[in-house]
Structure 1
């Protein structure tokens, strides 16, 4: 039976420029889809957040460039918490899947690997 699961992920960029943000977001989305064997038609929605120091581009542009034109996408600013990981893009993908909740593979790349070592695999 298909159920909707939330799949988390995060990555970082070296610079606040559209190319770096798009490249990192594209890499993150590809990895989430690959590791969880998600079909494009099964993606319900994707929420992106970016830290305050990233303002040159929306991370959702990466999804649009990947052809995700009929999937609802939302970009928000991450809470500005003292000593938070800088230049960080986070993702919450909602997708229909047959995976059990404990089998969902959350994806943390680049400098964001340190955020959730307990679930990132």
Structure 2
């Protein structure tokens, strides 16, 4: 079965180094907390708010050993007025036998406000 594993993080500045570093921090936490093997991943979607434009966050996954062949797509979030700014969201599509309630979705930095019900 394919399950979605979500996460989000915010950046302070719109620069490539911070975008890649934050995305890598988020991805590694999602991977570690859920025991994700890249061979079990169908694809990864990464979205950014309209104020995150200085670099491709997908570059972060390419820098993690074993993840270079996983299909990754970046896109822009819907610019809803009043929504969280400078936010990077990630969705792993993972082949797993894990139950929905056993999936650990990860929200870091300013993105913790998106899903306070899921915080540890």
**Normalised-by-shorter TM-score class:** over 0.9
Q: Does 1:92 align with 2:91?
A: yes
Counterpart-to-counterpart distance in 1, 2:118 and 2:112: 10
Q: Does 1:48 align with 2:46?
A: yes
Counterpart-to-counterpart distance in 2, 1:39 and 1:72: 14
Q: CA-atom RMSD, angstroms?
A: 1.0
What's the counterpart of residue 76 of structure 2? 77
What's the counterpart of residue 113 of structure 2? 114
Counterpart-to-counterpart distance in 2, 1:120 and 1:34: 16
Describe the SS at the equivalent of 2:118: coil
| Structure 1 runs not aligned, ≥5 long | none
Counterpart-to-counterpart distance in 2, 1:42 and 1:78: 26
- Show the 5 A alignment for 1:10-89: 10-67=8-65, 68-89=67-88
List 4+ stretches of structure 1 deviating above 3 A.
none
Alignment coverage as a number of residue pairs: 119
Moved more, 5-14 or 34-43: 34-43
Counterpart-to-counterpart distance in 1, 2:84 and 2:40: 31
TM-score (norm 2): 0.95
Report the Cα offset of residue 120 of structure 1: 4.1
Describe the SS at the equivalent of 1:32: helix
Moved more, 62-71 or 83-92: 62-71
| Structure 2 runs not aligned, ≥5 long | none
